[in-house]
Structure 1
């Protein structure tokens, strides 16, 4: 009887310990290793136990740490700094070998990050669009290392591929939640932005045709800016951004086309003050109306630890609740064992 009382007291104490931790502790902590009771409970519930559990937990614990994300961020910043220094012609050829070794070192760090995250949770990794983008950038980084640069055309292709190394800076989006919110807002505005750009293009097309016939005459007009449809559209783009429009208007005034001022003023009023500002307003409105959730609430919504309700000492107890998916890029939490102190065989 005393032994059963001790078991009941220990079991109820463990249950109170689980309750007191609360949802916030479950969301913010991950137990790196299971005890013997947890392993026995997982086996009794029929769950699959990894053969490389210790190594898996070690890698998962590393990827969970803030220090790991900080190391990747420092690597991205240093990589961007080295790419900026490499644009200096003299410095590039004085330290050509150093830049090559540094680039291979950065690729090795990115590859290590990719392999570790895929190993911990491949399904969640590939469901995250930011991770897929990082993987594409990593593949592009390997192209110059295995491509043959013998002829001039291949060398030109390699220069283009190496230019895409600048995309590595966008990896910072994967680590900064504020940037992710802005990217999501921009993508959500694409439908409205396409409509605005479509209307603006129709407006520019109409005014380009008018400008071609009024100002594009090769003898009395300004063929350099209005000589064909392409030149007229490019000129109107300068007008819609209000960039250098005074010089364009001055050229028409020098040719004696004073009535062109009406054309310029009307297009700027419609194109810039209405459509261009409408484009900016759509983007700003989408960003402002997007709800911003606290980081802790986001964790609570995305992280649901698996709970296994199993008494490893009671063969009649095999109830289990399947685990829910964890947040992108993170490994699942270990099960929380709830011992049944009332089981007659647990003593």
Structure 2
């Protein structure tokens, strides 16, 4: 979502300052700097997980972490000053605010668990890069379709678990002894993780045709249902892309319409003969000007 620029009111110096601050903090160089700081902060957060590196350069890493945090705070303060309460109308701005606010809470005592949440600052890269932001928006818009497919997949899992428990519970109680164990085993088979190692002992234990059930389940769950998830996401992304293009074309058309000068009004009170006489006079004047121009161009 593109931030709405602050419009400065004539004669209001505070509004002019807010507009300038907003334009500066949303400018391309500043946003590139913020992205670079987010990447650098992600690297320092990863280095803090190494005891050897922290013993060798822990002071420098902690100092860099503080500098990065205050850069985020300054960026957030500039946006709040420029946009006021309108800043919180954008969900991505609320996300950035919460991430920075969590980082400011002292990670000690009962809040020591928040120390692990500092890595959430890396997620600010999603809100800073438009392409990543568009992908996340697509995933959120695809939730209704994904939920429907997930419900259908849950039904298939439940039916398959009941059938597997009834059919193969005695042959492989460690895998299909209960519905819970059957659900876990079927999920493992959907991921194609060592599914043959589960099926072969059952086939050798008096169920030679057991492969038919499991192959059908894998085809339906892994090869069909999971591809439906991908199809829903791709369809949502295409729809959002078309909507964005349509909005851009409409804005371009509105801008072109606003910039087009109004048609020149025809002089009132003139007869056709008078208009023809004026046209002849204009043509004669143009001929005189063309002749003068040709004489100047001659050496």
Query: What range is the shorter-chain TM-score in?
Result: 0.7 to 0.9
Note the alpha carbon deviations across 1:37-76, whole angstroms, 9 max, x for none: xx8xx35xxxxx25x4565355234214211111100100
1:209 aligns with 2:179: no
CA distance in 2, matches of 1:299, 1:90: 57
Unaligned runs of 5+ in 1: 1-26, 44-48, 305-347
Name the structure 2 match of 1:125. 87
Name the structure 1 match of 2:130. 177
**What is the correspondence of 1:60-99 to structure 2 with a 5 Å cutoff?**
60-99=22-61
* 8 A contact 1:75–1:106 mirrored in 2: yes
Q: Helix, strand or coil: the match of 1:95?
A: helix
Note the alpha carbon deviations across 1:233-287, whole angstroms, 9 max, x for none: 1211122222322222234335443232122112112212221211221111221
Note the alpha carbon deviations across 1:167-210, whole angstroms, 9 max, x for none: 22221222322222222211111101100000100110111122
CA distance in 1, matches of 2:209, 2:6: 77
Of the two structures, which has the highest relative contact order with CA contacts closer than 8 Å and spacing of 6 or more? 1
Q: 2:194 aligns with which of 235, 244, 256?
A: 244
Unaligned runs of 5+ in 2: 256-299
* 8 A contact 1:240–1:276 mirrored in 2: no
CA distance in 2, matches of 1:53, 1:31: 8
Note the alpha carbon deviations across 1:85-118, whole angstroms, 9 max, x for none: 2233322343333332222222111111111101
Between Structure 1 and Structure 2, how many residues are aligned? 250
* 8 A contact 1:225–1:235 mirrored in 2: yes
CA distance in 2, matches of 1:181, 1:70: 18
**What is the correspondence of 1:257-272 to structure 2 with a 5 Å cutoff?**
257-272=207-222
Q: 1:285 to 1:31 in 2, by over 3 A?
A: closer
Name the structure 2 match of 1:311. none
Name the structure 2 match of 1:231. 181
Q: 1:257 to 1:105 in 2, by over 3 A?
A: farther
Q: Which has the larger radius of gyration?
A: 2
**What is the correspondence of 1:1-347 to structure 2 with a 5 Å cutoff?**
42-43=10-11, 49-50=12-13, 52=14, 55-143=17-105, 145=106, 147-149=107-109, 154=110, 158=112, 160-217=113-170, 221-291=171-241, 293=244, 297=248
CA distance in 1, matches of 2:129, 2:205: 55
Name the structure 1 match of 2:273. none
TM-score, length basis structure 2: 0.72
TM-score, length basis structure 1: 0.63
Q: Which has the higher helix share?
A: 2
